[in-house]
A and B are shown apart, each in its own frame.
Chain A
């Protein structure tokens, strides 16, 4: 990770923190700010290990909840050292196709970087972006979009 990238990520975390606290009044029960916090679409890699993390609009920063999920995934991956994973990055439909492909790739890599800081080898993790091509919720509304802005950890073997 280049210094530049670390700096950028730190800034983004701080920025997101400000954003989230600013939006705290907008909680709907299933979203905090515009990050999805519900469980409707979540599947489990193992008991208590959610398979996905969610992002704010146009953001690639991991929220507190996302980091907690990824730490659970990391400890599950440490216990199951023969399992490799694919991180699938996605965007919502409110963006241009090519930019969203890049955004999905960046989101999946944000999750990958975090798993690696918790000791999971990069060799066990591959990344693919689907941009806005594979939504889980077809709805054209903020809640549906929040479910679609995600990185999903999928067993590769």
Chain B
């Protein structure tokens, strides 16, 4: 009798283990204090391709470089712990065909990424596999082809696929950040539009710094940017085509236009128009140029942001006497205040998932980045600092990027402005590297989706 129950116990254990180990899962809804150990094997590169890439891109080992991009992305996400490559026992080419799971389990890897890069027809062809070490099986395999110059994007796309497979949510790695690059004295700051990959690489400057520029934001297809420029000392909302560099003024009203954003379908720009001491929210249809007045109130109405379905707008108003967050229907009707906590609230921005609004809060001399539900309930403050504002959502709605300024003396000593990001969980707060000081970040949507 005893023997039999023992037998059953083992059977159940194996069965249960099979089931639970078959799928590695990463829970991104909670602060992750135990990031998943993952081994990112350098992508295999045969000799001929290696020399071709070296000649074309001036990179010694492209396979190694791409794996570094993936590794860095996974690490920055805070959900994964990429293991030290020195501990890897298997060579990249062999691991990619048939990993020895015992070897990888030995170094405590739970997931393994392998791959191969090839130079074919002047193109970069990459294939990669994701392996579940404990279950001892392949759980994803993908291949794609692109121009060699896109090699960093290859790393981002691999990360997105791995992230999606392991967390169940879309990634945010093949994306860019547009921001304002800052230089010079605090009293006469020089500001330029700049764009970079999400991980801080491939920075390009889109304006020269001859005029003050502020608050750039992408359109849904990431080809256009709307922003505020002081060109000829007339603060107006502009539109910039990133590829062609063509700029045009869209908010040329007799007064100041500012705080622009695109509608979710990209057809309209919503912005503030200030005249005679009163700021109202307007929309402009980019094709017909028809202008519509959305708010009508003698107080300041600014910082509008659409809900992802385009049906609602959240905005900032001081109609109660102080800065608070309001929500209205997109035609301007049914205005409702949603922020009621202590302090001042600004820069509301609707989550791409639709369920939350991120904001900046000023309370007792401190600035907070926080989120609340769209009806104003469930307020959660994620981070507190001397000065920070202007959150922008990652396309999957899991991370916020914002900027932070430090204190300075009267000569401006000690002053800096930097981009920071934090997970919706309130964990994984980190500075985002930029070549210069930076502010007003805006996150693109996924470039390849």
Contact = CB atoms under 8 A, between A and B. Distances in A.
B256 A4 contact: no
B37 to A, nearest CB: 41
A128 B411 CA distance: 25
Contacts of B365: 94
A105 B277 contact: yes
Given A4-B298, A128-B233, A144-B410, A96 B390 contact: yes
Interface residues of B, number: 49
A99 to B, nearest CB: 5
Contacts of B277: 5, 60, 105-106, 109-110, 113
B444 interface: no
- B234, B276, B318, B390: which has the most chain A beta carbons within 10 Å? B276
Interface in A93-134: 93-99, 101-103, 105-106, 109-110, 113, 128-130, 133-134
B410 A94 contact: no
Contacts of A102: 258, 272, 274, 279, 300, 302
A93 B367 CA distance: 12
Nearest to B407: A140
- A98, A130, A134, A144: which has the most chain B beta carbons within 10 Å? A98
A99 B316 contact: yes
A4 B187 CA distance: 36
B343 to A, nearest CB: 12
A102 B271 CA distance: 12
Contact of B346 (A96, A128, A138): A96
B387 interface: yes
B233 A138 contact: no
Contact of A98 (B255, B258, B276, B278): B258
Contact of B215 (A98, A130, A138): A98
- A58, A102, A140: which has the most chain B beta carbons within 10 Å? A102
Contacts of B362: 94-96
A98 to B, nearest CB: 4
Contacts of B322: 58
A97 to B, nearest CB: 6
B409 interface: yes
B408 interface: yes
A5 B278 CA distance: 10
Interface in B374-417: 386-387, 389-390, 405, 407-412, 415
A5 B405 CA distance: 35
Contacts of A105: 255-256, 274, 277, 279
Given A101-B256, A136-B187, A138-B410, A96 B303 contact: yes
B332 to A, nearest CB: 18
Contact of A133 (B189, B255, B279, B344): B189
A137 interface: yes
Interface residues of A, number: 33
A128 B212 CA distance: 13
- B188, B234, B259, B390: which has the most chain A beta carbons within 10 Å? B259
Contact of A93 (B212, B387, B411): B387
A95 B346 contact: yes
A138 B303 contact: no
A113 B274 CA distance: 15
B409 A97 contact: no
B323 interface: yes
B245 to A, nearest CB: 24
A101 B405 contact: no
A8 interface: yes
B188 A134 contact: yes
Interface of A: 2, 4-5, 8, 58, 60, 93-99, 101-103, 105-106, 109-110, 113, 128-130, 133-140, 144
Interface of B: 185-189, 212, 214-215, 228, 233-235, 255-256, 258-259, 272, 274, 276-279, 298, 300, 302-303, 316, 318, 322-323, 344, 346-347, 360, 362, 365, 386-387, 389-390, 405, 407-412, 415, 440
7 contacts: A96-B323, A98-B215, A98-B302, A99-B303, A103-B300, A106-B278, A144-B410
Given A99-B302, A102-B279, A138-B415, 9 more contacts: A96-B390, A97-B389, A98-B215, A98-B259, A101-B256, A102-B272, A133-B189, A137-B187, A140-B408
Closest A-B pairs by Cβ, 5 of them: A109-B277, A96-B346, A138-B412, A140-B407, A139-B410
